[in-house]
Structures are given as C-alpha cells and as structure tokens.
Amino acid sequence: MSSVMVITVDGPVAAGKGLLSWRLAEHFGLNHLDSGMIYRATAARLLDQGDDPTDEAAAAFAAESLEISDLQRSDLRLQSVGQAASVIAALPSVRAALLRMQRRFAAKPPGAVIDGRDIGTVVCPDADVKLFVTAGLDVRAKRRFDELVGRGQSPVLAEITAEIAERDKRDMERETAPLRQAEDAILLDTSELDADQALVAALKIVEQQLKAPAKTSI
Ligand code: C5P
C-alpha cells in the first residue's frame, strides 16, 4: 500500500455515497471529495451564463475555469443543477478537465475518500479500496424525497423517481467514463440499511480489503 490511501465510492443517484464517504474519511483521517459537486458547479456556471449544457466548448471552458468559490454555492443541490450536471458530464472535454483536478486531489497526503461515478474505474484505478454503493430505485427516490421535504420543499415522489431513473440512464449509457462497477470494487447494497448500518458494513469491507494481500501482476 502506498503512503497515500485512496478509497473510491461509486454508485447511482441517492445511493447514500455522500454521507458514507464523508464518515469514512472522518474515520480514517483522510480528505473527502464529493466529485459530483464539481460537475454540478460546472453546470451551475453554464446555467448562470444562459449557456446550453450541450454546448461542449462553453462547458469545457466552465470546467477549466472552475474556482473553489464555485464549489461553495448554495444552489448546487437543486434537481435542475443535477440534471444539467449529468448532461455536461457526458462531454469528453469536460471530463478531461475535471479528471486532472480530481487526480491532484487524490494524490495529496494523507489521501482521500472520493465519491462519484467513475472514480474506481477511471479517476483512481489503483485505489486501495473500491466500493460500489447502490440501493433499489424506489428506496433511493424515497430518500431524496424525504431530504427535499426536510429542506422545506414540496416534491412529488413520482417526479423524483423519474428524474433519478433518467439521470442514472444517462450516466450509465454515456460513452466516456460511464457509471459502472469496477471489476475489483466490492458491492454494498444499502436498500435495507440506515446510514449507521451502511457505515458499519463499509468499514468491514474496507478493513478486509486493507488486510488482503497486495495485488500482483505477472
Ligand atoms: O453525485 P451527484 O448526483 O451530485 O452528481 C451529479 C452528476 O454529475 C451525476 O448525475 C453525473 O452525471 C455526474 N458525475 C459524473 N462523474 C462523477 C460524479 C458525478 O459523471 N465522478
């Protein structure tokens, strides 16, 4: 194992990756990056300028000129920003610009927990531990619904379910870095688990993987 420890947490929308990754990072004293936020921040910049999210040149420019302050915007969690993020996320030049940023983050000691869609497959293929976190569509939609209600919004469950399904489909079917489980990632289905139980299950997987003999190639 290298002196920088990297744990990747990939999976579909609202699988519980964000909180789980943050808690894993706390537990192991690592940095945490929610990579979805950089796609969301890029999309938010484009929407501000009135640019079309399918305009690749404008989207790539927004990705290359992303600043730390963009990641602190309060509107990044809006459903509309998430949808636009998954549109720009399919553009190869946007992904290339954001890839460099994510790899720099992963390489900073003492290491990081990074959650997203392609972290174990593309961004950090040599990570120490890879998790693929998922849950049934209905469970994920209900979680997102409860989260929005908690924020004082009045969402419609059927609309949330359809939006999540649409975003997952786009993320899985794009040509560049589609959402998929890395061959060496361990699957964690959180359908029947609350956040504390998911953390216990994830810690068990991470501890087991860290103890496993180092991978060899011949
Ligand atoms: O995770 P979150 O829902 O915040 O991500 C927003 C969008 O950003 C996703 O739907 C996906 O299209 C894109 N994304 C990605 N690769 C990542 C993280 C997010 O394509 N590593």
pLDDT tens digits, 107-157: 999 999 999 999 999 999 999 999 999 999 999 999 999 999 998 989 999
Give the Cα separation of 133 and 33 in Å (integer): 16
Ligand 1: residue whose CA is nearest its atom 9: 86
CA 196 to ligand 1 center in whole angstroms: 24
Ligand 1: residue whose CA is nearest its atom 2: 36
Q: 150-196 pLDDT, tens per residue?
A: 989 899 999 999 999 999 999 999 999 999 999 999 999 999 999 99
Could you give the C-alpha distances from 129 to 7, 185, 209, in angstroms and in order?
5, 7, 6
* Nearest of 119, 61, 54 to residue 83 by alpha carbon: 54
**Atom number in ligand 1 closest to CA 17:** 1
Could you give the C-alpha distances from 198 to 1, 168, 204, in angstroms and in order?
25, 21, 10
Residue-level pLDDT at 23: 98
The type of residue at 217 is: S
CA 86 to ligand 1 center in whole angstroms: 6
Q: Which residues line ligand 1 (CB under 6 A)?
A: 13, 35-36, 39-40, 82, 85-86, 89, 116-119, 167, 171
CA dihedral 103, 39, 114, 132 (to 10 degrees): -120
CA 116 to ligand 1 center in whole angstroms: 6
Give the Cα separation of 188 and 180 in Å (integer): 14
CA 209 to ligand 1 center in whole angstroms: 26
Residue-level pLDDT at 3: 84
**Residue found under tokens 């994920």:** 140
Residue-level pLDDT at 217: 55
Could you tell me which residues are beta bridge partners of residue 188?
133
CA 148 to ligand 1 center in whole angstroms: 18
* Nearest of 12, 33, 7 to residue 180 by alpha carbon: 12
- pTM value? 0.94
Question: What confidence category does residue 15 fall into, taking pLDDT thresholds of 50, 70 and 90?
Answer: very high
Residue ranges of domains in the chain, CATH in brackets: 5-210 (3.40.50.300)
Question: What confidence category does residue 58 fall into, taking pLDDT thresholds of 50, 70 and 90?
Answer: very high
Residue-level pLDDT at 218: 60
Which residue from 39, 81, 105, 170 has its CB within 8 A of the most atoms of ligand 1, so it is best to mutate? 39
